Each structure stands twice: as structure tokens, then as C-alpha cells.
Amino acid sequence: MIKIYQIAIICLLSLMLTACRESQKNRPIWEQVKITDLAPSTNKETTEFQQLKTINFDVCVFEVPAENIKTVSGIWPMLSTQPIRFNNYEAFKSNLFLAGFGQAPMWSRIDELLVAAGGRETETNYLLLPDGQFSRVPAAKLKNQQTVFYVPIGGRMEGVNIGQGTLVLRIKAEKIAGARGVCNFIAQPVFLSAARSAVSQPAAREKAGEINFDSVGFELKMGPGDFFLLGPEKYVSDQMTLSSLFFTRSERKPVIRIFLFVCAGVAD
């Protein structure tokens, strides 16, 4: 089973208001765990993270054989797009991106479909985001120059030439004034050219060699235990598109990648 316990951990973290960086073991979602059964952490590192007033996320990447994408397609109707504010919903869909919002009790049903599709978890990252600061989740690396096709806001599909570099999901989390335990999560794919490292000034380096794909940007409000999935609408094998670059990995057998973001805690 694909680590259902991670969602249970998130719920516990929201009650304890900690910023624990290590996954708990043997905590399935259906297990009734009492907060009094758990000793408060006195770990120095955890205390320092709390003092930083971070917004914490667990990020998991699942890989599913591309031939089983029809099985995975059953996940998306379970999730909601209503809480998600897209930069442009039509452009988001035209780029073959899918996103959905859910909460912890829903995870077991989603897990069943991932298992049925032969999915496996390949990456887990723990993000500790200071309020209003950016972070990046890598999606793909390019070694050679090529043309990537995408749909801009209000336009038709066009190609952009990119060279060596990394495609990432740039994310930022901001606390919401007057709302405790809730943050605004902002995300947008960005291509970062390897040439950025040759620029000496940090401010200039942030702008040099960047391509922002704002047509698939979005934001939503999240609290502990909330999650969203980001994945492809279909598998594209005959054209280098933004979606295929972001969600597809081709080695022995092509796989599609689905990104899971879970809000682990919002420090007050």
C-alpha cells in the first residue's frame, strides 16, 4: 500500500502544531490515535523550526506506468477544483494539466486506485517555508536544447526553445491575516536555465534564463491535513509539450508522474 499513513501523520501534526520532519511509522489512517498517547517533542531542531514560524509541506511523487493512465483518471472526479484559483482555467486545461483538492479521510480511496494502476512512491520531500518565501520542486532536467510546446493565456499552442536547465514548480506559501492555521499556497511552473549560475548578482540571477509558464499557475488556501494532487490529463508520446516534460519520465518503460502536496502545519 502506498504509504496511507502519511495522511494520518498530517492530521496528528495539525493537532500538535509541530513541524516534525520525520515520517511516523505504522500509523494507518483508520487507526484511532489519541493525542495523549504521544509525548511532546523536545528535539532542539524541531523547536528551532517552530521558532522560524514556518509553513510546512510534505511533497510526494508517484510514478505510474503510462499504459495505466486510464485507471489513474478515476482519481480526479473524487477531488475538487472549486478551492483552486487558476490563473486561467482554460489555459490550464489546454496544457493537459490536472489538479484537485482533497482532505485526509479521502486518501484511502485514492490510494486504492494508485495501487490498482501499479503506482509507486519514488520521492518524498519535506518543505519548511518561511512565510512569503519561495521554494522549488524539481520536475525535469534538460541536457540538450529543444522546443517545448505549450498554450499561453489567451493564445494558441506555441513553441519555446529551451536549453540545458531544470523545469521546476515554484511555490510560495503565505499566512492569511486574521486566519489561524491557514495559508495561501501559490504555484507556477518555471524553467531555470543552467546559464543562471554564470550570473554573479543574486537579483539578476533570479531573472536570467527563466521562462515562467503562468498559464498553468494557480493558488489555493490550505490548512493541516489538506492536500492536492497535480498530474497530467493524458499521456503524450509524440510531442514535447509542457505537460509531457513535467509529468513524463521515459526510461525502460514510460511512466507518468503525479505530485502530492500535503499541508503538514502552519505555525502561528
At 177, the pLDDT band (50, 70, 90 cuts) reads: confident
Q: What is the chain's mean pLDDT, rounded?
A: 79
Q: Using an 8 Å Cβ cutoff, are 101 and 141 in contact?
A: no
Residue type, 237: S
- Round to whole Å and give the CA distance between 170 and 164: 18
pLDDT (0 to 100) of residue 194: 85
Note the pLDDT tens digit of each residue in 75-111.
999 999 999 999 999 999 999 999 999 998 889 999 9
- Of 133-142, 205-214, 254-263, give the lowest mean pLDDT range: 205-214
- Round to whole Å and give the CA distance between 165 and 192: 6
At 18, the pLDDT band (50, 70, 90 cuts) reads: very low
Q: What SS3 class is residue 212?
A: strand
49 Cβ partners below 8 Å, 6+ apart?
Answer: 19, 21, 56, 128
Q: What SS3 class is residue 158?
A: strand
Long-range contacts of 39-48 (CB under 8 A, 24+ apart): 40/16, 45/21, 46/18, 46/19, 46/20, 46/21
For residues 243 and 48, the model is more confident at: 243
Residue 17, pLDDT > 80, answer: no
pLDDT (0 to 100) of residue 163: 87
Note the pLDDT tens digit of each residue in 103-137.
988 899 999 999 999 999 999 989 888 888 889 99
- Of 41-45, 55-59, 160-164, give the lowest mean pLDDT range: 41-45
Residue 31, pLDDT > 80, answer: no
Long-range contacts of 74-77 (CB under 8 A, 24+ apart): 74/113, 75/100, 75/110, 75/113, 75/114, 75/229, 76/100, 76/229, 76/231
pLDDT (0 to 100) of residue 89: 96
Q: Using an 8 Å Cβ cutoff, are 150 and 242 in contact?
A: yes
Percentage of residues of the chain with pLDDT beyond 70? 75
Grid cell for residue 206: 533570479
Note the pLDDT tens digit of each residue in 145-170.
889 999 999 989 999 998 899 999 99
pLDDT (0 to 100) of residue 1: 55
Q: What SS3 class is residue 221?
A: strand
pTM reported for the whole predicted model: 0.78
Strands (E), 38-164: 54-65, 85-86, 97-103, 120-130, 134-142, 146-150, 158-162
Sorted by where each begins, the domain ranges of the chain are 5-266
- Of 57-66, 73-82, 144-153, 195-204, give the lowest mean pLDDT range: 195-204
Residue 45, pLDDT > 60, answer: no
Question: CA neighbours within 13 Å on the CB side: how many for 107?
Answer: 25
For residues 160 and 13, the model is more confident at: 160
pLDDT (0 to 100) of residue 196: 58
At 29, the pLDDT band (50, 70, 90 cuts) reads: very low
For residues 24 and 193, the model is more confident at: 193
